[in-house]
Structure 1
Amino acid sequence: MTQAPLWLSSPSRYVALKPQAARIALALLALLLAATLLALISPGPPPISHDPAQRAQDQADVMLYESIVQDMRGGQDYYSAAAQALRNGDYPMRPFVTFRLPTLAAVQALLPRSVTTGLLYALTVCVLLAWYRRLRPVFARTPPRLIAMALLCGGLIAFVQGELASFHEVWAGLLIALSLAVRREDKWIEAVAIGLSAMLIRETAALYVGVMAVLALLEGNRKEALGWAATLAILAIVVALHAHAVGQVVRPTDPASPGWTGLLGFGFFVKTMQLSTALALAPLWLAAPLVGLALFGWSAWNSTLALRALAVFAVYAALLGLFGRTDTFYWGLMIAPTLLIGLAFVPDGVRDLTAAARTPRRKITITRVTR
C-alpha cells in the first residue's frame, strides 16, 4: 500500500519503483553523495579579502565591466571601450568570445546606477513570485512551501548584491530561473522570449535554450521546439555581428585566452555551487553533500519541469567540469537561483525510495485438508 506523501501534494517519482530498481537508485544516490566530496580536493578561486582597499583585486571582473559602462557614458562606443579596458587590465582579447555581448553595458550606460540596481532587485522579486506560484500547489502544507521558498532565497543570495549589477551572469541566471518558472506546455512563448533575453546578455545561456528545445521536441511539442530553435538562430546572427565588431578593435599583438579546457571535474562544479549560493556559509564538507541531495531532490519531483531543471543542471555541470577554470567559477551563477529548491523534495524522495527498496514479504498460507 502506497504511503501518503510527507510534504508533497502527490507522491514522488520513486514511489512506484520496483525493489531492484529502487536499490540501484539508492546505490546511485550514495555514489552521487560520495562524488560530491571531490569538491574537498578540487581547486577553487583565491579567497576574497573583504577589505575595501583590495576591491580592485577581489572584484577585478566587476570593476572591468563597470569601467566599460563608465566610458560609454562618457561617449565611447562599446567595442572601443571594452578593448581599452581589457588592455588596461591585461586581459586576453582573443578569440572574440573574451568580449561580452554589448547588450547589458549598452542598457546600463543609458541608466543611472540606482535604476540599474532597482531593476536587478525587481527581477529578483519576479523570480521569487514566479516560483512561489509554481511551487504552491506542489506542497500539501504551508511549512514546506515556506521551506522551499527559503531555499530559493538561499540560491539568490548573490543576486541581491547591487555591486554585482554589472556582472552578466547575475542577470542571465535570474532570467533563466524566471523562464523555467513561467514555462508551461500550453504557455511557452513568454519563457522563450525570456530565454532569448538571457542569451543576449550572456551567450552561454544558449545551453539552457538548447536543452529546452531538445526536451520540447522529445515531448512532442514541435511548435515550442521551433520557438526555442528560432531564438538560437537569432543568437547566431548576433554573435556573428559581434565577432566582426571585435575583429575591428583587436590587434595581432593582443594576448590570447589560455583556453577553456580546465578539466577540473565534478568536484569543481560542486564547489562553484557552494560559492554561488547560501551554502558558502557552511563548511565545504557539509555543503558538498547538500548539493548532491539538491540534485537528487529535483529528480524525485514527479514533474516535467523537474526533469527540465535537472537536465539544465547537468549540462552546466558538464560545462564547469570540462571547460571551467578557477577564475571562471562564476559560471555557476547561471543555475544557482533554483538549485537548492531541490532540497525541499528530498524528504519524500528518500522515504519513497527506501520504502520501495524493501523486499515485500511473501505471505505463506497454510491450508488444512480434511479427508
Structure 2
Amino acid sequence: MARLHAPLWLTAPSRFAGIKPPLARIGIALLAFLLAATLTALASPGPPPVSHDPAQRADDQADVVLYESIVSGVRAGGNYYTVTADALRAGNYPLRPFVTFRLPTLAVVQAALPNEVTVLLLYILAAAVMLAWFIRLRPAFARAPPLFIALVLLAAGMVVFVQPELANFHEVWAGLLIALSLALRRPGRWIEAVAFGLIAMLIRETAALYVAIMAILAFAEGHRREALGWCVPVVVLAAVVALHAHAVGQVVRPLDPASPGWAGLLGFGFFVKTITLSTALNLAPAWIAALLIGLTLFGWAAWNDALALRALAIFCAYAALLGLFGRVDTFYWGLMIAPTILVGLAFVPDGLRDLVSAAIARRKITVTRLTRGS
C-alpha cells in the first residue's frame, strides 16, 4: 500500500489515496488513454461558426428564434400544437416523429408571463444552483481558496445559462434544474431532488436519463424507498408523453417531413466538443479545452464522495447519448450537464498527486538479523 499523504485541497484523501501500485499504474494508463481520446474532438464535426451579426441571428440561432416564435404565438392566444406545427413548417423543420415537438410546459408557462419575469426566474434559478453547490462543496475543501476556485469553475460552466436571449431554450432550464437536483440530493433527503428532476423532465424529456441514473444508483446502494421515489417521475413523464404524442398526431400531416434520425455515431470526441461549446472552455484553444474535459472527468472520479459517483455516472451517460445519437445540429444536448461538469477540475490536484504517489511507491523490505544463541 502507498503511504498516505495529507490532502492538498480536500478535507479527506482522494479516492486514489493508498491504492496498490499496480492498480495506480493501470489508473495512470487509463488517464493517459482518456486524455488522448479527448483529442479526437479536434477532428469531430461541429456546428458552423456564429457570425455575431445581428442581421444573421435567424441563421446563427435558428432554434432560439423558433422557440421565441412559438412562445409569441401561444401568448397571442394560439393553441400550442397548432402554433408549433406552423412554426416548424415555416422553418423547414421535421414534424415527425412526435418527439420533434418539445413538450409544451416551458412555452405555456413563458407565454403566461412577461418576458422580463421569465428572465428574472432564470437568474433566480441560476443563483439557486450556485448557492446549493456552494453549500454542498464547502465541506469538501480544507481552505477558502480551493473552494473559491471550485465556484469559479461552476460559474464557467454556467456562462451560457445566464444569457437572456436563451431563456426560451429548453436545455438551459433543464440543465440548471438537473444541477440543482443533484446538489440537493443527500442520503435520506431526496424528495426535493426528485421534484426538481421531474420539472426538468417536463421541460426536456431527455432529463429522464438523469432521473434513471439516480434511481439505479439509489437501488444499488440499498435505498429502496428513494429508488422508488425516482421511479415515480418516470411514470408521470410516460403519461405526459403519451398525451403529447396524441396531441401532435392531431396537427401533423401525411406529407410533413420526418426527422433524419438520431443515430449520429459521432463518438466521444463529439461529446467533448459539445461540452467545450457549452462552457467557458469555448474561449480556450481547442486542444487545451479537450484535455481539460478529460481532466475534469478524472477529477470527479478522484473525489471520494457519493455525489461524485453520481455526477460521474450522469456525465458518462450523457457522453454515451451524445456520442451515439447526437448530430451536429443537436450539440446543445451538452447543456444538460454543462453547469457542473467543470467543477471536477478542482479535485484534480489531490487525485493526481495520490495516483502518481501510489504508482511510484516501492515496497519496503526490512531485513532482521537473527543470531542463534549457543
Q: Does 1:214 align with 2:211?
A: no
Q: Does 1:188 align with 2:190?
A: yes
Q: Which residue of 1 aligns with 2:91?
A: 89
Given the alignment, which residue of 131, 134, 138 partners 1:132? Answer: 134
Task: Write out aligned runs for 1:235-274 (5 A).
Answer: 235-274=237-276
SS at match of 1:321: helix
Q: Which residue of 2 aligns with 1:114?
A: 116
Q: Residues of 2 paired with 1:268 and 1:106: CA distance?
A: 33
Q: Residues of 2 paired with 1:216 and 1:22: CA distance?
A: 28
Q: Does 1:104 align with 2:106?
A: yes
SS at match of 2:13: coil
Amino acid at match of 2:241: V
1:297-317 CA distance string (max 9 Å, x none): 000000111000000000100
Amino acid at match of 2:230: W
Q: Which residue of 1 aligns with 2:173?
A: 171
TM-score for both structures, normalised by structure 1: 0.99
By how many angstroms is 1:366 displaced?
5.3
Q: Which residue of 2 aligns with 1:56?
A: 58
Q: 1:43 to 1:107 in 2, by over 3 A?
A: same
Amino acid at match of 1:157: V
Amino acid at match of 1:337: P
Q: What is the aligned residue count? A: 371
Q: 1:205 to 1:366 in 2, by over 3 A?
A: same
Amino acid at match of 1:216: A
- Aligned structure 1 segments of 4 or more residues deviating by more than 4 angstroms: none
Q: Residues of 1 paired with 2:294 and 2:66: CA distance?
A: 34
Q: Which residue of 2 aligns with 1:31?
A: 33
1:197-252 CA distance string (max 9 Å, x none): 00000000000000000000000001110011111000000000000000000000
Task: Write out aligned runs for 1:149-160 (5 A).
Answer: 149-160=151-162
1:265-289 CA distance string (max 9 Å, x none): 0000000010000000001110000
Q: Residues of 2 paired with 1:123 and 1:89: CA distance?
A: 31
Q: Residues of 2 paired with 1:17 and 1:35: CA distance?
A: 25
Q: Residues of 2 paired with 1:70 and 1:38: CA distance?
A: 41
Q: Does 1:345 align with 2:347?
A: yes
SS at match of 1:13: coil
Amino acid at match of 1:324: G
Q: Residues of 2 paired with 1:48 and 1:338: CA distance?
A: 25
SS at match of 1:148: helix
1:152-199 CA distance string (max 9 Å, x none): 000001001000000000000000000000001111000000000000
Q: Residues of 1 paired with 2:124 and 2:19: CA distance?
A: 42
Q: Residues of 2 paired with 1:30 and 1:38: CA distance?
A: 13
Q: Residues of 2 paired with 1:78 and 1:369: CA distance?
A: 93
SS at match of 1:16: coil
Q: Residues of 2 paired with 1:198 and 1:181: CA distance?
A: 14
SS at match of 1:354: helix
Q: Which residue of 2 aligns with 1:355?
A: 357
CA RMSD after TM alignment: 0.9
Amino acid at match of 1:65: Y
Q: Residues of 2 paired with 1:175 and 1:147: CA distance?
A: 23
Q: Which residue of 1 aligns with 2:291?
A: 289
Return 5+ residue gaps in structure 1 as ranges.
none
Q: Residues of 1 paired with 2:70 and 2:305: CA distance?
A: 43
Q: Residues of 2 paired with 1:330 and 1:362: CA distance?
A: 52
Amino acid at match of 2:73: D
Q: Residues of 2 paired with 1:9 and 1:65: CA distance?
A: 45
Q: Residues of 2 paired with 1:263 and 1:57: CA distance?
A: 25
Q: Residues of 1 paired with 2:292 and 2:18: CA distance?
A: 25
By how many angstroms is 1:2 displaced?
1.4
TM-score for both structures, normalised by structure 2: 0.98
Q: Which residue of 2 aligns with 1:318?
A: 320
Q: Residues of 2 paired with 1:84 and 1:110: CA distance?
A: 20
Q: Does 1:201 align with 2:171?
A: no
SS at match of 1:317: helix
Taking only the aligned residue pairs, the percentage that are identical comes to 70
Q: Residues of 2 paired with 1:310 and 1:2: CA distance?
A: 24
Q: Residues of 2 paired with 1:285 and 1:235: CA distance?
A: 39
Return 5+ residue gaps in structure 2 as ranges.
none
Amino acid at match of 1:25: G
SS at match of 2:168: coil
Q: Residues of 1 paired with 2:361 and 2:68: CA distance?
A: 61
